[in-house]
Amino acid sequence: MVQPLPNPVFKFLLNGVEFDPHAPPRKLSLGVVEEWHVTSTGFPEFFPGHPFHIHTNLFHFTDEQGSVARA
């Protein structure tokens, strides 16, 4: 008998707050640098945390020391 996979619960957190697809969009100012702490969760044994990606706008990932991280 095959065990069913658990119901995956993915959570995307931005600065510790769970992403809400129904919330109004954030308004960002052109030319202003923002630091976001982005995390995602899931069942690592079946569904690793979904990698964060963005479909518009340029951005840089930095490591904890502030250096640009390599992708």
- Sequence spans of domains, the chain: 9-23+34-53
Q: Would the pTM count as exceeding 0.85?
A: no
In what order do the strands lie in the sheet containing 17-18?
Answer: 17-18, 11-14, 38-41
11 phi and psi, to 5 degrees?
A: -130, 135
Measured on CA atoms in the order 37, 41, 45, 46, is the torsion positive or negative? negative
Residues 37, 63 contacting (CB under 8 angstroms): no
How far apart, in whole angstroms, are the C-alpha atoms of residue 19 and residue 14? Answer: 7
Predicted confidence pLDDT, tens digits, the chain (71 residues): 666 555 556 777 889 898 888 999 888 888 888 888 887 776 666 556 566 677 777 777 777 777 877 65
